[in-house]
Amino acid sequence: MGSPPRSSPRLSWRRVLCVLFLPFVSSGFAPPAKYRNNFIFERRKLPPNPRRFDWSHLTPRELKNRSQGIQTEERAGRNPYFTLEGHEFLILGGSVHYFRVPRASWRDRLLKLRACGFNTVTTYVPWNLHEPERGTFDFSGNLDLEAFILLAAEVGLWVILRPGPYICSEVDLGGLPSWLLRDPDMRLRTTYKGFTEAVDLYFDHLMLRVVPLQYKHGGPIIAVQVENEYGSYNKDPAYMPYIKKALQDRGIAELLLTSDNQGGLKSGVLDGVLATINLQSQSELQLFTTILLGAQGSQPKMVMEYWTGWFDSWGGPHYILDSSEVLNTVSAIVKAGSSINLYMFHGGTNFGFIGGAMHFQDYKPDVTSYDYDAVLTEAGDYTAKYTKLREFFGSMAGAPLPVPPDLLPKTAYDPVTPAFYVSLWDALNFLELPVTSEHPVNMENLPINGGSGQSFGYTLYETTITASGVLTALVRDRGQVFLNTFFLGTLDYKKKTIVIPTVQGFTTLRILVENCGRVNYGDNIDQQRKGIIGNVYLNDSPLKKFKIYSLEMDRSFLQRFTADKWKPLTEEPMFPAFFLGALSVLDSPYDTFVKLEGWEKGVVFINNQNLGRYWNIGPQETLYLPGAWLDVGLNKVGACPLGPLLSPALPAPPRFPGGLGGRERTDVPPGDRLAISPRSSSLKRRWHNG
C-alpha cells in the first residue's frame, strides 16, 4: 500500500500529530515481531480425528435458559469429562490479554479466535494497572475489563478469568502493584497482613465488576483461576486457601482452577479446586497426566497453558516454535480428551512500561513486543499456526467455522525528522518540584502519588560533590552518571563503580536511573525495589543532601511541555533531551511500525500513547503503532505536547535539521529519522537473533 501524500514542511500548531523523543546516552531500539505471510485458508491432510462435536448451540448468545455451568461427569469405561448444560464439552481456549491489545482491535482479535475454532478466551487481570495508586482504581479505556468480557460474549466466546492477584504473564512484578513494596517487611504472595489487606480491598472492588458476568448470572465467565503457578513459589501453605475463600466470599461460584508447571504441580493442588497443567512439549503430556492423577485423583484433564512460543528478552535471541510442532502437540492433547488453552493465541504488546523481567543468573528485561510467536502476530495477522489449527479444529467441528475476518490494512508513512527539542536539564525547571532527602530514596518509597511512590519510568538523583575518586552505588536497573551535564558512564547490575575525574569547586553529580522492569517470576519478587538502593558512596564516604526528580513519563508529566518550552533544532542539542517531530496522516489511519535507525535506547510516545521501549541490542527492531492511535489530519500539540520519545545519543554528531516528517530531506542522514512503515507480506519483519 502506498504512502499518503506528503505534507507541507511548515509547522502549524493547530494541525500537528506529535511524536516526541528523549535521547539518552546509552543504547536501544525496538520492533514488533516475526515475518508472517498472508495465509490462504486451504484444506490439507490432517491427522485422523475420530470424534466430531457440535457446540454451535452452546455459546453465550444461544444459551439463554441456564441451570448449571461447567460440571464434571464420569461414565463407566470413560475418563471424566466436562459438561455444559448436560452436553459433553471440551474447553478450547486461547489467551488474549485486553490490556496488551488496543481497545479498537479487541473485536478483530476475538473474531479471529472464534473463526479458528475456539470456544473460550482466557485473560489475566493486572492488579498493578487497575490500582496504580493505593485505593485509586482504573477500569476505563483499554482497561475496561467488563467491556472486554461482554464483547467476548457478543462474539460467541466463553471466558476463563485469571484475576491473580499475582499473574506472572511477563508483566512488571507479575501484575502486583509496586506500592506494596513501600512496606520494608512486605512478603508478597503470603498471608502477611500487609499483603492480604491490600488484596482484600482490590478484590472487593474487582469482584463487584466480574461476579455479575458469571455464567450463573447470564454472563460468559465459566471458570476462574485461583492465583497463578503458586506451586512453584509455595512459601505459605495458608495462602492458597485464603485466595480461594476470598474469591468465594465475594460471590465467585463458577468452576475454580489452579495452573502449574511441572516443577510446581505437586505443591499447587488445592482441595475443591481443579488442578490444570502448563507445558509446551507433547512428551510432557503423559508425565503430567500421571502426576495429576496422583495429586487429585480422577478428574477431567486440562492444559491451562500450552505455550505456542515464548517471550523475548533484550539482548537475547528471538524465539520461535515450528507450526507443525504446535499442530501435533495440540492435536495430541485434544485427542487425549483434554481441554486446552493456548498461551498465547495473540500476545499483543507490552505498551508503555508494563513489561517484566527475569533474574536468575543475569537480569534480563522483557522486550516491548509480546508477539510470543503466537497464533496471531503482534499486529493481529494470520500465521501458519492459525491456518493449521483452524483446519484441525474445523475437522472436529459439527458445524462450519465462521469465516476469518479480513486482515487489517497496514501502510508506510513518511519519515519523521525532529524539529524541536528540550534538554532534560532545561526541562527540570518546569517539572514537578524534586523531593529533597538526606539520603537516596528508592522509587517506590518516594513521597509522591498520594503516598504510593513511583511505579515506572526514570528517576534522577542530584547532589553536590567537591572531590574526585571512586563512586559506588547500587542502581536498579541502569544508571547514567553525569558531572554537571557531562556524561561519565553507566552503572548497572554488573558495574557498581565509576571513576569521578578531577573536579573544581562545587560540582553537581547526577545519576539518571531507569526502571527496566521488575521481575515477574521467581523467589526474589520481594526485592524488586527500583532506583538507587541504599547510599551512594564517594571514596567509601556516603553522599548526602539529594534532590530527587520523578520522571514517570505519564500524562501529567507530558502536559508540562507546553509550546513555549520547545527550541528549534538549529544546532547540536545537549543530551539527554526531548525531541519533537510531526507525522502527517491525510487518509484513514492504518497500523504501522516505527523503526528508529541510529537511535540507541529509549521510549516512544505518539499522541499521548506510550508505544514502549526500544533498544538497539535487539532482538526487537521496530515498535508496533496501532492505526487506532493515529488521528486523521494534523493534530494540535502546542498546549499539551503529549508524546516524548526517550533515546540515547546518536552514533555520530547529531544532525537534526528543521522540518517535519512529511517532507523528504536529502540532507538528513538516515540515522536521524524515524522510519514509519508497514509490516505486511511485502516486508520482512525486522528481528535479529543474538
For 189-215, what is each residue's pLDDT tens digit?
999 999 999 999 999 999 999 999 999
Whether 347 and 370 have beta carbons less than 8 Å apart is answered as: yes
Residue bearing the bigger pLDDT, 347 or 644 = 347
Taken as a whole, the chain contains a residue count of 690
Domain spans of the chain, in order of start:
18-24+412-424+560-677, 90-396, 433-552
Q: Active site includes 600?
A: no
pLDDT of 662: 24
Q: Residue 275: phi, psi to the nearest 5?
A: -85, 135
What letter represents residue 26's amino acid? Answer: S
- The CATH code that applies to domain 90-396 is 3.20.20.80
User: pLDDT for 30-49, tens place per residue?
Assistant: 333 333 333 334 444 445 55
Residue 274: pLDDT band (50, 70, 90) is: very high
Please enumerate in sequence order all residues whose Cβ is within 8 A of that of 16, keeping only pairs 6 or more positions apart, or say none. 582, 634, 635, 636, 637, 638
Residue 676: pLDDT band (50, 70, 90) is: low
Residues paired with 578 in a beta bridge = 422
**433-552 placed in CATH 2.60.120.260:** yes
pLDDT of 675: 52
Please enumerate in sequence order all residues whose Cβ is within 8 A of that of 75, keeping only pairs 6 or more positions apart, or say none. none
Q: Is the pLDDT of residue 666 over 80?
A: no
Whether 214 and 221 have beta carbons less than 8 Å apart is answered as: yes
User: pLDDT for 601-640, tens place per residue?
Assistant: 888 888 777 888 889 899 999 999 998 988 877 432 221 2
- Catalytic-role residue among 229, 444, 462, 600: 229
- Catalytic-role residue among 227, 254, 305, 514: 305
Q: Residue 239: phi, psi to the nearest 5?
A: -70, -50
Q: How far from 579 is each of 18, 182, 395, 460, 576, CA to CA, in Å?
A: 10, 34, 54, 19, 10
State the number of CA atoms in the 13 A half-sphere of 581 facing the CB. 29
Coil, helix or strand at residue 665: coil
Q: Compute the distance between CA of residue 612 and CA of residue 581 in angstroms, rounded to an integer.
A: 17
User: pLDDT for 279-292, tens place per residue?
Assistant: 988 888 877 778 88
* DSSP character at residue 317: P
Peptide bond into 344 cis (omega under 30): yes
Q: Active site includes 305?
A: yes
Quote the mean pLDDT of the chain: 84
Choose among 635, 634, 632: nearest CA to 587.
632
Peptide bond into 619 cis (omega under 30): yes
Please enumerate in sequence order all residues whose Cβ is within 8 A of that of 470, keeping only pairs 6 or more positions apart, or say none. 497, 498, 499, 500, 538, 539
